Structure 1
């Protein structure tokens, strides 16, 4: 069910799912009831009890939604339907002061962020950083929103995504993105123009003073993960962050 899972701070857990957890997206033509069952199984595996992972409608932008303790999504974008609840925000990042969060991907970069907050709860974040979002600055926008909530000592966990060796793009596209994020410029294993999205994400995090604690492998090279570049008719796996018991990962 998990390609990687760890207690990343005392009482805070992060994980990335794999194909064993099944498709977690409602927008790819899957049976909605089956998707919701998989999400519920994931929540049980994480020990959330009555709590739920909050999903968002991702549109390759830079909107950051604040998820309140009451479960209300606060963002400027409208709510759409690709989530378990009707109040899912249209955004490419979410932050909260303890609410469980989820980000879906199938080649884009899923990022989990955790910062020291107040005495009760840490500040949590998830980011969906595809090519457009990376160039639009969704990563620094999420970090800034966390700091506005009082987050300090923010760490980042970068999940599996397509690597620079595999992500071929037109030369003009590479130039456009690299003009904004120079670290993303690369050449693929075939010698063609490429983009290294994980390297671009890492450079933006480092520029914000955020330490990268973990970085996953390549989705296209790992058949245990969903990859849109490998098969356009595919599901989505998730990056997750939640608070839980230090010993067992059981949610508070």
Structure 2
């Protein structure tokens, strides 16, 4: 099961990874892009429940505990990952797009297939977090809310890693998306490039937008933000590219 491991300056007791579409059991259109089994981890995308369960078991073998899976709604709510795990044990899932953990062995997880996964930790290795940042959640403050919850929990200096998302050459958006960001921060205009031959379409750099939002929240130490889920077909699921597709997961915990 190939995974991406963040290359960042996290303390030694913090572990994190982001899955790809490769190394699982799912059949097309949730496969690995080359005809072999795909590592789809989403239960809500139409894949075989048995395949998803097998894929989650493969992932679980690399983790200290079962993650607290969330029902993501493109919002900005942040929950405690322990509460998400307890909800799972009782047969339900919390609606949220970010979570934090303050206890060893509690696993934060979010799922993506073009939206931006952001993993967080503090330099002391005592608080970690994960956020699902599609453009709506990003514009509505999901990253700032996650940072605020971490600080409420005692986090000091916070680091962030930007996982695989739709790249700046593929993310076409309309004027409404540009306006949503520029109204909050005029400097965000630099993250949008008018698309040639169109009257109201732009190419958006979600990584640049996230870095600006993180900087405004006092998070200056940021890594990642170099992959493209749309163009790297053999590595990543992409909703924008394929429509019906699987979901990847980004996870973080500490010991």
Normalising by structure 1, we get a TM-score of 0.82
- Output aligned runs, 1:172-251, within 5 Å: 172-181=176-185, 182-183=187-188, 185-187=191-193, 192-210=201-219, 211-223=221-233, 224-243=235-254
Distance 1:170 1:47, change over 3 A: closer
- Pick one of 97, 105, 109 that aligns with 1:102: 109
Structure 1, unmatched stretches of 5+, are 74-82, 245-252
Alignment partner of 1:61 is 2:68: no
Equivalent position of 1:43 in the other structure: 60
| SS in structure 1 at match of 2:136 | helix
CA root-mean-square deviation? 2.3
- Pick one of 163, 167, 175 that aligns with 1:163: 167
Q: Is the 8 A contact 2:84 2:93 kept in 1?
A: no
Aligned residues: 229
Alignment partner of 1:10 is 2:12: yes
| SS in structure 2 at match of 1:13 | strand
Structure 1 CA distance for aligned equivalents of residues 76 and 216 of structure 2: 17
Structure 2, unmatched stretches of 5+, are 24-38
Q: Is the 8 A contact 2:195 2:202 kept in 1?
A: no
Equivalent position of 1:78 in the other structure: none
- Pick one of 135, 143, 148 that aligns with 1:139: 143
Structure 1 CA distance for aligned equivalents of residues 217 and 67 of structure 2: 27
